[in-house]
Each structure stands twice: as structure tokens, then as C-alpha cells.
Amino acid sequence: MDVSAVNALPYEDFVIFFGNVVEKCPLITAAVWAKRPFVSLAALETAISEFIDALPESGKEGILRCHPDLAGRDLQSGTLTRESREEQAGAGMDALNSAEASRMAQLNEEYKQRFGFPFVICARMNDKANILRQLSERCQNERATERARGIAEVKKICRLRLQALVLSDAPNKL
Ligand code: 2AL
């Protein structure tokens, strides 16, 4: 799908197609539709990034709270979004041994207790060992540092989701 095809999408289709580039935040996609025409896919990504940056800190934390835990309840109950399921499986989150699973659950809880939002990391850019190490290290940070770090990870996830969508021929199915 090239950028002219993206620019030609009515907002209903645009939101269906790009609505989960930020996990469970179709409002962001719906808002940036009004910024068309995009000169490139990178310009669409920039529009999303700028929208997020303009939110108050409470809005940024809201975005983080829309993310499922890694190896958490949604993975176990099969209720992850397709994108999240693929990302988590790619990082081995669906194949943790019992020691790893309980460490992950314990650290995820500790992180949420401390910050009031979940630990977010771009799973496609990390493996299991790296995720566990970063989760443990990042529990020590300040809240504002973690809010910014989590949002930076959301943007990495968004970039990879956008690329996957635009490279696929999925729009033909709209
Ligand atoms: C996720 C997710 O669902 N996909 C990803 O890359 N990271 N969740 C998370 N809490 O980091």
C-alpha cells in the first residue's frame, strides 16, 4: 500500500486499518486522519508521535494502561490483540518456563504497584532474557523517567506495526 492509497482512505477504513497501531487506542488514529495528506508513511508516523507528545501526562499514562502485560492474563486467556499476540510470541513470552513465568508475573506486579501503569517494551526488538533484565532494572527508575521510557517504546511498537501493515496487501481486503 503506498501513501496515496493511505491518503485516499475514508476515515472509517483508515481507523479499521490503522486503528491498533497504538494498542487499543483507535482514538489516536481517528484524530490523525485529519492531518492528511501524508507525504510519506514516515509523515503518518510523525503525526501519531506529535499527537501523543501533545497529550497531558495523564493521557500518556492512559496509553500505557491500554497495553497488556507481557506474559500476563490476556496472553493466558487468549484475549490479546492479534498484533500483541504475534509480538509476544516472537519474544518467547508464550513459552516461558515456570520460573521465568513467576519472575515475570512478580516483576510486572511490582512495576505496576510502583508506577500505576504497566511495563511497556517493544517485544519485537527484545528477547526473553533482555525483557526480564530490563523489567527488573526499570523498576528502580523514577515515575517520570518510566512514563517517558514507556511512551518511547509505544512509538517503536507503532513504527513496526505501521510498517507491517503498509508492506502487507491487507488493504485489498477492505
Ligand atoms: C507489549 C505488547 O503487547 N507488544 C509489545 O511489543 N509490548 N506489551 C507490553 N506491556 O510491553
Distance 170 CA to ligand 1 centre (A): 22
Distance 71 CA to ligand 1 centre (A): 9
**169 occurs within a structural domain:** no
- The answer on 108 and 90 residing in a single domain is yes
**170 occurs within a structural domain:** no
For the chain, how many residues are written? 174
Spatial CA neighbour of 62 closest among 51, 46, 70, 73: 51
Residue 118 CA: which ligand 1 atom is closest? 10
CB 48 within 8 A of CB 28: yes
For position 84, which CATH number holds? 1.10.3330.10
Buried b (16+ CB within 10 A) or exposed e, 69-98: bbbbebbeeeebeebbbebbeebbbeebee
**Structural domain tally of the chain?**
2
**Cα 40–46–47 angle (5° rounding)?**
95
**158 occurs within a structural domain:** no
pLDDT at residue 1 in the model: 85
pLDDT at residue 169 in the model: 55
| 67 among known catalytic residues | yes
Q: How far, in Å, CA of 119 to CA of 65, rounded?
A: 9
- With a CB cutoff of 8 Å and minimum separation 6, the contacts of 75 are 68, 69, 85, 88, 93, 94
Best residue for ligand 1 mutational test, from 23, 135, 158 (most atoms within 8 Å of Cβ): 23
- The answer on 11 and 44 residing in a single domain is yes
pLDDT at residue 45 in the model: 97
Distance 152 CA to ligand 1 centre (A): 12
For the chain (174 residues), the mean pLDDT of every run of 10, in chain order, is: 94 98 98 97 97 98 98 97 98 97 97 98 97 98 98 98 83 46
Instruction: Identify the domain containing residue 55 by its residue range.
Output: 3-62
Q: How far is CA 85 from the centre of its chain?
A: 11
* Rg of the chain, C-alpha, whole Å: 17
pTM value? 0.96
Q: How far, in Å, CA of 92 to CA of 90, rounded?
A: 5
Distance 14 CA to ligand 1 centre (A): 23
Spatial CA neighbour of 109 closest among 70, 58, 153, 142: 70
Q: How far, in Å, CA of 23 to CA of 12, rounded?
A: 18
CB 37 within 8 A of CB 7: yes
- The answer on 96 and 58 residing in a single domain is no
- The answer on 92 and 24 residing in a single domain is no
- The answer on 145 and 90 residing in a single domain is yes
pLDDT at residue 174 in the model: 44
Best residue for ligand 1 mutational test, from 80, 94, 122, 149 (most atoms within 8 Å of Cβ): 122
Pocket residues for ligand 1 (CB within 6 Å)? 23, 67-70, 84, 87-88, 118-124, 157
CA dihedral (133, 123, 26, 32) in degrees, to 10, reads 100
Best residue for ligand 1 mutational test, from 24, 65, 67, 153 (most atoms within 8 Å of Cβ): 67
Spatial CA neighbour of 36 closest among 53, 63, 15: 15
pLDDT at residue 173 in the model: 44
